[in-house]
Amino acid sequence: MMGLPLAGVFPPIPTPFDERGEVDDRALLENLAHWNTYPLRGYVVLGTNGEAALMDADERAHVLAVAREGIPKERLLIAGTGCQSTRETMAMTARAARCGADAALVLPPSYYKTQMTREALKRHYHAIADAAEIPILVYNMPACTGLDLDLESVVVIAEHPRVVGIKDSGGDTAKLGALRARLGEEFAVLAGSAGFFLPALAVGAVGGVLALANIAPAQCLDMEKRFHGGDIAGAAATQRRMIPANFAVTSRWSVAGLKAAMDMLGLRGGAVRPPLAPLSAQDREELESTLHQAGILPPARRTR
């Protein structure tokens, strides 16, 4: 993996904004200081939860630079750099490297999705990898792109030595296992959701990029530790308990739900950037109940 050990848990962190809608540097650093108290492998910055699609290139570079200040050198900073054009993605990846990113997570272009053939995707990723100074990870996120990269497409993209892994949020654990079988240990497979973290580990994933790890890092790490320690029943119990909370802050309420959950826990979640909308009072109440039932929100910290 080009000397880049990717085994472990990575929260894809949200970007906090202040009351003017600008990036809140202090809040970002405070959140990182909290997460740094857990033995996380690193962080994904400017992924889907980071609202990168709603920022310009200068804002993205600023977020990466601030995040690097708050992320210890021994922990990885994986930067989301995917854009619609190959040229812009190459430029963003170069900026990420200059900001101190250890790797780039590249979402496939999706606006012209019907033209994104296997060969087109191979050319796109290989051009980015040719130009990059840091390793590249493929980001499969069909819920946002409308593209679900199949096994053979990932295999041909992975022919480039600088393409070292994939974060797959599609939830097809059979494909994750097949990728591990086809590409071996040198290609890192990372689960893209805590909802299927344990099954992914069971078929060969080395870790996960888990939105839930922003609000439940201990539980996500517990699953990983129990799995590797042979306590499959214990890992499965944690997995089952986390499924409703994970659904709440991903598929159901997405970034707004995750930021609201962070606020409930005393972290700096804050507002989402328009056109995303905040949770209603009723949704917040339901989210709070879900977090309480999962044991993520202690009874003493419940809001009214």
Catalytic residue, chosen from 167, 175, 225, 259, is 167
Kindly tell me the sign of the dihedral angle through the C-alpha atoms of 182, 5, 143, 289.
Answer: positive
Helix/strand/coil (H, E, C) string of 31-48?
A: HHHHHCCCCCCEEEECCC
Residues 129, 96 contacting (CB under 8 angstroms): no
Residues 103, 135 contacting (CB under 8 angstroms): yes
Residue 175 designated active-site = no
CA pair distance 236, 5, nearest whole angstrom:
25
CA pair distance 249, 219, nearest whole angstrom:
15
- Tell which residue, 62, 52, 71, has the closest CA to residue 96: 62
Tokens at 55, concatenated: 């920022």
Q: What secondary structure letter does DSSP report for 281?
A: H
CA pair distance 106, 125, nearest whole angstrom:
8
Report, as residue numbers or ranges, the catalytic residues: 167
